[in-house]
Amino acid sequence: MRRIKLTVAYDGTDYCGWQIQPNGITIEEVLNSALSRLTGQRVTVIGASRTDAGVHARGNVAVLDTESPIPPERFAHAVNPLLPEDIVVVKSEEVPEDWHPRYQDSVKTYEYRILNREMPDPLRRRDTWHVSFPLNLEKMRAAALCLTGEHDFRSFCSIHTGVKTTVRTIYKLDIKKSGDLIVIRIKGNGFLYNMVRIIAGTLTEVGRGFRSPEDVKCILESAERRLAGATAPPQGLILTDIEYGR
């Protein structure tokens, strides 16, 4: 038996998220089914991040255990023809049998993409949030500074059942603009439920002038979800990368 680590990219638009559920098709389910066909065994992957409905990934991670003779690094090429076009295994490699994508230190990077112009762009409707009012980037960056570092992010979390602590560390939070595209890039040691989308929603309210950068500090200290901004929609969010320590 070998454990194989897969790096998975997907357009989440037409899926009910990563995790298998009764009401619709999920990334996990489609991966299990393609990998089972490929190996001739019943495969159940373990994913690193259970992304929500409509959220995308360039670098989610999953593992499977298999006795397949396919060389580990060939798994990606072998499984892709069995997957729909909106899911691609971009890399595969062997890892130790006890390597687990969730129970160890990791650094995750997310991007939240905002299309900031008057009219929507039909070619970018699937992977951006269209915000038609002008946003003040300097104010958004000032607010982002308050969020960087170790904090209790309880006010930036939708549900916190089953979580031991709501303290997390954001290593980096930068906001870049290129043409009409604003990209909020967040790197941290872990994220609470909806945390990146609530941060994106709150920063957008700061950019619009509805809140000041200083308000963000108060929201953080209040530890109350109702004080933070709205949860930004899923299509702007991409899990770009998960790095594991050695």
Q: Which of 88, 163 has the CB closer to its own copies? A: 88
Q: Which of 83, 206 has the CB closer to its own copies? A: 83
* 45 scored as a contact of its own copies (CB under 8 A): no
DSSP 153: -
* 185 scored as a contact of its own copies (CB under 8 A): no
Map 167-197 to HEC letters.
Answer: EEEEEEEEEEEECCEEEEEEEECCCCCCHHH
Any known ligand binding at 110?
yes
* 56 scored as a contact of its own copies (CB under 8 A): yes
φ, ψ (nearest 5 deg) of residue 195? -55, -45
Work out how close the CB of 114 gets to its own copies at its nearest, in angstroms, rounded to a whole number: 16
Our answer to whether residue 127 is catalytic in this structure is no
Binders of its own copies among residues 81 to 140 (CB under 8 A) are 85-88, 90-91, 119-123, 125-127
* 182 scored as a contact of its own copies (CB under 8 A): no
Q: Which residues contact 128 (CB under 8 A, 6 or more apart)?
A: 113, 114, 115, 121, 181, 235, 236
**Closest C-alpha among 127, 144, 146 to residue 203:** 144
Q: Kindly tell me the burial class for residue 179, based on how many C-beta atoms sit within 10 Å of its own C-beta (0-12, 13-18, 19 or more).
A: exposed
Catalytic residues: 52
Q: Which residues of the shown chain bind its own copies in the complex (CB under 8 A)?
A: 9-11, 56, 58, 76, 80, 85-88, 90-91, 119-123, 125-127, 238
Residues annotated within the binding site are 110
